[in-house]
Amino acid sequence: MEQLGVPYEEVMTWSTDGFYRETAEKVAYRKEEGCAVVEMECAALAAVAQLRGVIWGELLFTADSLADLDNYDQRDWGAEAFEKALELCLEIVSHM
């Protein structure tokens, strides 16, 4: 990411596949733990990679935001970032 001049931030994530389980109380609890984001695939994919003994990585980007529960920001489900994220991942993999 640094070699490509792409700004990034390393953060702790909360991974869950439970729709509608991101209650205000759980969001507050996870923030207190130090989590900056919640996503739905990372833990499951990491577990499968570990089981299969393969190298795995994931690039997370914002699709929507629960940072302000009173003013939900859908952010177009990240559609504007899909192509750029794919290009970035392909570039990173090509240097491995």
3-state secondary structure of 75: helix
DSSP state of 69: T
Upper half-sphere CA count for residue 18 (Cβ side, 13 Å): 8
* Predicted local distance difference test score (pLDDT) of residue 59: 78
Q: What pLDDT sits at residue 69? A: 66
Whether the CB-CB separation of 19 and 64 falls below 8 Å is answered with no
Q: What is the pLDDT along the chain (96 residues), one digit of tens a residue?
A: 888 888 888 888 888 777 677 788 888 898 899 988 888 788 888 889 999 999 888 877 766 666 666 776 666 666 777 888 888 888 888 887
- Rg of the chain over all Cα atoms, to the nearest angstrom: 15
- CB-based contacts of 40: which residues, under 8 Å, 6+ apart? 15, 16, 17
**pLDDT at site 75:** 64
Q: Give pTM, 2 decimals.
A: 0.59
